[in-house]
Structure 1
Amino acid sequence: MSDRFLALDKLSLAYGNTVAVRDLDLEIRKGELLALLGPSGCGKTTTMRSIAGLMTPVGGRIHLDGTDITRMPANKRAVGLVFQSYALFPHLSVFENVAFGLKLKGMRGTELETRVTNGLKSVGLSSFANRKTPELSGGQQQRVALARSMVMEPKVLLLDEPLSNLDARLRLEMRTELQRVQKESGVTMIFVTHDQVEALALADRIVVMKNGAIEQIGTPEAIYNHPVSAFVADFVGFENIFAVRHGRLVTAAGGVMLSGALPDVAGLAWRPRSVSLGSGPLSGTVRGVSFAGGTREYVLETPLGTIKAEVDAALPAHGLGQTVAFDLPVAGAASLRRFG
């Protein structure tokens, strides 16, 4: 399986004099489900728009399946795009919406009907063919938009924040649906999101972006467990993050030694559940506590700064204003190569 089915080589993108993406290198495998993850303004949507042909690069090249598509018109690229708003036609039926792009290509008759029917079947909407799109739920509209792109048989399918308009229950359902459709069809799929839970749940690989550049690329497990920088650690839920200098944590109280030797790294990060609460050489005052089902979450005011901890809800609770001992076990921390 080639790693260069879709390749962005030194890609640079700009809005006027403002550079949004600079010298980006990225290789995407055929059949891969890839997430572009990052906060607003990091360049992920801009990168997606350039792949779709909706934005012309100011530098670099885009290759798809061995062909340079950098200057190719959007309608010639074999790239499908599902917009965040779905962009469905409210006056057309579900069948007519899915058939729209095929008709523009001149497809008619039995071939058209077969392609659309199979497309609706693939997303579980065969019985909705004659309905108007305003009669559908958000999840069903998302499936129509997905089918409309899939029937065009794209080499790459792009999805812009595909689940952001859905409630929590529908998001969970559509994650499963997107994975199923992608694996059954084998289409290379790239989706843009700012939701780390969504990216971790769906993607084969995640590209974390910051300020128009790639901060880290890896599997969901690698990104989640081994962030390379403070930025990535913060983005995937490490809420206790400290720089390391001369073998000490850099904190509000100055350099702090921990029990156990610190590794030679730029920083260390602990998830709340990795904080040892109730015993240890450090102490803090409980300023916030919340019950979260199986766990209880604490916010501690400490000489190190704010510390967030999470413990089993079955343990005795600590009250607001109570002083509690804690520890930051070095073995439970993620080691960061970069801190800036």
Structure 2
Amino acid sequence: MSDPAFLSLEKLTLAYGDTVAVKDLDLSIRKGELVAFLGPSGCGKTTTMRSIAGLLKPQSGRISLDGADITRVAANRRSVGLVFQSYALFPHLSVFENVAFGLRLKGLSGAELESRVGTGLKSVGLTSFADRKPAELSGGQQQRVALARSMVMEPKVLLLDEPLSNLDARLRLEMRTELQRVQRETGVTMIFVTHDQGEALSLADRIVVMLNGAIEQIGTPEEIYNRPASAFVADFVGFENIFAVENGKLRAGNGPIELPGPLPHDAAGLAWRPRMVTLGSGPFQGTVRGASFSGSTREYLLDTPLGALKAEVDAAVPAHAAGTTLAFDLPVDKAAKLERFN
């Protein structure tokens, strides 16, 4: 028996004026899960997050949290925390006062306030920074202040809008670890919005891939990465060779192409990552259009009867010059089977 839903969205439709951004969305999230909303700009992920936070009134549908209907509950009474992409820290207040701000609005003071803020700063490793102003902090430290400010309010759900997008590559890696640690130690249900598939794969327990205001696929990082359900999801997670299947053959620009061996009878399409392509042997021929070296691998762009094809090989394999004709194969047993070709 699966765990009961802690946060539930039922037939949720969200609109800006006459423009529908999300339509009839159903989603259940378990208590203590770390879930990523993943997709390109305009797919509806931030709009959905705003509705959970209470910043956008649904056109129709229902939002439930911990057994209570919060669809029409005001944002400040939902027990939902929100960390904005810009952090939204008060520049004239110290780190301590930034974290204490929401607690003071709730009427906390004295020893209880000191204790809650101290615990929050300790949870993100900023105890010694309590007297500093935001301008004296790095981007990663500001991010942690914003996280602590939300956490001290003891929300049932914590929402993060593109939480790592303002950080450089090294700080992003550090903050991924920090978010996982805080979530693991507190057990808070956490949802973060991102367009970065690497971020979603490395952080989330489950990923909700969205497109055009609808859910394309929900799954664990391993399921999304290895078994994409549609051509869109496959492309989004790095399958660069994607083909529709019709009548047991691949659909290509120059006509249908038959692969050695039978294709899955229920596949709408097949997809291969560049490293899944066999280069140097096989029943097909392609001409090298270009090549790139990335240290441990070389990637080739081939002109083939299937159209443009990308293949990746170990860098130790001798390089092939542009114009070289190479044999290749697309092993069916390595391909991802797509349920939908959209």
Please say whether Structure 1 and Structure 2 have the same fold, judged by a TM-score greater than 0.5: yes
Partner SS, residue 178 of structure 1: helix
Structure 2: distance between partners of 1:288 and 1:147: 49
Give the drift of 1:325.
1.2
The aligned counterpart of 2:53 is: 52
Query: 5 Å matches for 1:175-324?
Result: 175-264=176-265, 265-324=267-326
Counterpart-to-counterpart distance in 2, 1:64 and 1:93:
33
Question: Could you say which residue in structure 2 is the equivalent of 1:85?
Answer: 86
Rounded to whole Å, the distance in 1 between the matches of 2:337 and 2:4 is 28
Give the C-alpha shift of residue 38 in structure 1.
0.6
- C-alpha distance in 2 between matches for 1:299 and 1:93: 54
TM-score, with length taken from structure 2:
0.98
> Displacement, 1:2?
3.6
* Separation in 2, partners of 1:135, 1:305: 53
Q: SS of the residue aligned with 1:224?
A: helix
| One-letter amino acid of the counterpart of residue 271, structure 2 | A
Equivalent residue pairs, number: 340
Using the alignment, how far apart are the partners of 1:4 and 1:220 within structure 2? 20
Q: 1:16 aligns to what?
A: 17
CA distance in 2, matches of 1:293, 1:180: 32
Q: Secondary structure at the match of 1:255?
A: coil
Question: 1:155 is matched by which residue type in structure 2?
Answer: K
Shifted more, 280-289 versus 3-12: the winner is 280-289
Measured in 2, the distance between the counterparts of 1:130 and 1:296 equals: 51
- Percentage identity across paired residues of the two chains: 78
Letter in structure 1 aligned against 2:219? G
Determine the structure 2 residue equivalent to 1:157.
158
RMSD between aligned residues: 0.8
The amino acid across from 1:229 in the alignment is S
Equivalence for 1:144: 145
Deviation string, structure 1 residues 126-177 (Cα, Å, up to 9, x no partner): 1111111011111111000000000000000000000011111111110000
Q: Secondary structure at the match of 1:22?
A: strand
User: Per-residue displacement from partner, 1:178-224 (whole Å, max 9, x unpaired)?
Assistant: 00000000000000001111000000000001111111101000011
Shift of 1:292: 1.1
> In 1, Cα distance between the equivalents of 2:250 and 2:72?
50
Q: CA deviation at 1:3?
A: 3.1
Aligned counterparts of 1:208 and 1:249: Cα–Cα separation in 2: 26
Task: Provide the C-alpha distance between the structure 2 equivalents of 1:37 and 1:194, rounded to a whole number of angstroms.
Answer: 5
Deviation at 1:108, TM superposition (A): 0.4
Q: Which residue of 1 aligns with 2:327?
A: 325
Letter paired with 1:46: T
* Offset, 1:286: 1.4
Q: Who is 2:337 aligned against? A: 335
Query: Which residue matches 2:101?
Result: 100
Q: Partners in 2 of 1:137 and 1:284 — Cα distance?
A: 50
Q: Secondary structure at the match of 1:319?
A: coil
Unaligned runs of 5+ in 1: none
1:41-95 deviation line (CA, Å, top 9, x unaligned): 1100000000000000000000000110000000000000000000011111111
CA distance in 1, matches of 2:92, 2:270: 55
Give 3-state SS (helix, strand or coil) of 1:256's partner. Answer: coil
Secondary structure in 2 matching 1:158:
strand
- Structure 2 residues without counterparts, runs of 5 or longer: none
What secondary structure does 1:289 align onto? strand
Report the residue type matching 1:159 in the other structure.
L
